[in-house]
C-alpha cells in the first residue's frame, strides 16, 4: 500500500505569476462578507468521458462557502464556446451576468497523463489572476480538480483552501470496524486496515507514511502504528492498561495517553527508534493530547480542577492554563490550521455539542 503522499504526483507549471504580494479580493475574517460569483463554463476538451471536470470544480467552490457558482442556464452558446485567451473573452457580457470571476480550462488526456490547463480571470477589468497547468495520472483527475479549487480560493481570499483535504474515519458495525480514507466530498474511499476489530482514534502522520490507531485486536485497547507502504506494525504499546488518543507531534513522533488504574500519563514516542518519554503524568483523567501548528503548545483533557475540561501547556515552560469554563464534560480538543482557534466537544444540557 503506497504512502498517502504518493497517491498523486503533480507537475504545476506557472504560466503567469502575479507579484509577490497577491491581491486579496475579500477578507473572510472578522466581518460579514458577500460571496463572489464565479462562472465555470464547460471546459474545452471535456468531451470523451471527462465532462465531470468543470462540474466537480463548481461543487468544490460551492462547498467552500465562499462562492456563488453561476448557473450555466444563464450562459449563451457564445459565452460557452469562446476561447481561453483574454482577447477572445467577452468580459462585458460576463459582467452583465454579475459574474466577478471566470474560470476557463482545457482538459486533455494523452496516454498515461491527464492534463488540466486552467485560467482564472477577474471580469471587472479582464485581469488574468493566474494560469496553471496540472499533470497527473488519469485516475487522479479528481485530485487535480480539488487542487485547482484550492488555488482559486487562495488567489481570491489569501487563505488556503481545504478541498484537497482528506477525511480519516472508522466504519463498520459495533464489533468490527476498520479505518478508511476519503476525499472531502466523500469520493475515492480507500480502506487502510483489514483488522475487523474495534478500532478508534485513527491518525495519519503529517507526511502520510504512518497510521496510528487504538485497536482491541489483543482483547483490550492498545496503540498501534502501521507503515502504510508495507502494512507492517512499526510501533505498539501493549502494556497493561489503556492506550488512546494518538496525535502526531511531527512526522515521526506520536503522543498518546496511557491509563492504568488511577494514573494517567501522556507519552511522546518516536515510532522509528521506539524511544518513549513522559510529557505529563497525574492521578485522574489526562487524555487527548493535541498540538499547535508550531509545536510549542499541547492541548489536553484533565479533571485537575474537578470537572473535565480543556487545558493547554506551554511545552517550553511547562506552564498550564485552563481553557474551558463551561459544560459538564469537555473533550476532543483540536487546533485550527493557523493555530488561532480551538475546537472541542462539550456536554452542556442534553446531547454533546461542538464548541
What DSSP designation does 88 have?
G
Nearest to 267, CA basis, from 237, 238, 241: 237
pLDDT of residue 336: 92
Which is it for the CA torsion 213, 217, 223, 227, positive or negative? Answer: negative
Is pTM, for the whole model, over 0.85?
Answer: no
Question: Could you read off the pLDDT of 41-95 as tens digits, one per residue?
Answer: 999 988 655 568 999 999 999 999 999 999 999 999 999 999 999 999 999 999 9
Query: What pLDDT shows up at residue 105?
Result: 96
Q: Collapse the DSSP code of 231 into the 3-class scheme (helix H, G, I; strand E, B; otherwise coil) and give the result.
A: coil
| pLDDT value, residue 323 | 93
pLDDT at 325 (0 to 100):
87
Q: What are phi and psi of 235, to 5 degrees?
A: -155, 140
Number of Cβ atoms within 10 Å of the Cβ of 110: 9
Which of the residues in the chain have pLDDT under 50? Answer: 1-22, 24-28, 30
Residue 352: predicted pLDDT: 53
Amino acid at each position: 500500500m503506497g504512502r498517502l503522499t504518493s497517491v498523486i504526483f503533480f507537475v504545476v507549471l506557472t504560466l503567469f505569476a502575479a507579484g509577490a504580494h497577491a491581491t486579496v479580493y475579500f477578507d473572510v475574517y472578522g466581518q460579514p462578507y458577500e460571496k463572489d460569483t464565479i462562472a465555470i463554463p464547460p471546459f474545452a476538451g471535456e468531451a470523451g468521458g471527462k465532462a465531470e471536470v468543470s462540474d466537480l470544480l463548481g461543487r468544490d467552490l460551492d462547498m467552500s462557502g465562499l462562492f456563488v457558482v453561476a448557473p450555466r442556464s444563464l450562459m449563451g452558446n457564445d459565452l460557452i464556446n469562446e476561447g481561453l485567451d483574454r482577447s477572445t473573452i467577452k468580459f462585458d457580457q460576463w459582467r452583465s451576468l454579475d459574474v466577478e470571476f471566470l474560470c476557463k480550462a482545457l482538459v486533455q488526456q494523452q496516454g498515461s497523463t491527464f492534463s488540466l490547463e486552467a485560467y482564472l480571470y477577474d471580469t471587472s477589468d479582464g485581469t488574468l489572476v493566474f494560469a496553471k497547468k496540472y499533470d497527473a495520472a488519469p485516475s487522479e483527475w479528481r485530485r487535480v480538480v480539488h487542487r485547482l479549487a484550492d488555488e482559486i480560493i487562495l488567489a481570491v481570499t489569501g487563505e488556503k483552501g481545504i478541498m484537497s483535504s482528506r477525511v480519516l474515519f472508522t466504519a463498520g458495525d459495533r464489533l468490527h470496524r476498520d479505518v478508511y480514507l476519503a476525499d472531502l466530498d466523500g469520493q475515492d474511499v480507500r480502506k487502510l486496515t483489514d483488522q475487523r476489530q474495534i478500532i478508534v482514534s485513527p491518525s495519519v502522520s503529517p507526511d502520510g507514511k504512518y497510521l496510528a490507531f487504538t485497536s482491541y485486536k489483543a482483547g483490550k485497547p492498545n496503540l498501534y502504528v502501521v507503515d502504510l507502504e508495507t502494512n507492517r506494525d512499526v510501533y505498539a504499546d501493549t502494556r497493561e492498561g489503556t492506550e488512546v488518543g494518538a496525535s502526531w507531534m511531527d512526522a515521526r513522533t506520536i503522543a498518546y495517553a496511557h491509563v492504568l488504574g488511577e494514573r494517567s500519563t501522556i507519552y511522546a514516542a518516536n515510532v522509528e527508534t521506539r524511544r518513549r518519554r513522559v510529557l505529563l503524568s497525574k492521578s485522574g483523567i489526562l487524555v487527548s493530547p493535541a498540538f499547535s501548528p508550531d509545536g510549542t503548545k499541547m492541548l489536553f483533557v484533565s479533571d485537575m480542577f474537578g470537572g473535565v475540561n480543556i487545558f493547554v501547556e506551554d511545552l517550553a515552560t511547562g506552564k498550564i492554563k485552563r481553557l474551558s469554563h463551561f459544560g459538564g464534560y469537555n473533550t476532543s480538543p483540536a487546533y485550527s490550521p493557523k493555530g488561532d482557534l480551538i475546537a472541542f466537544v462539550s456536554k452542556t444540557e442534553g446531547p454533546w455539542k461542538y464548541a
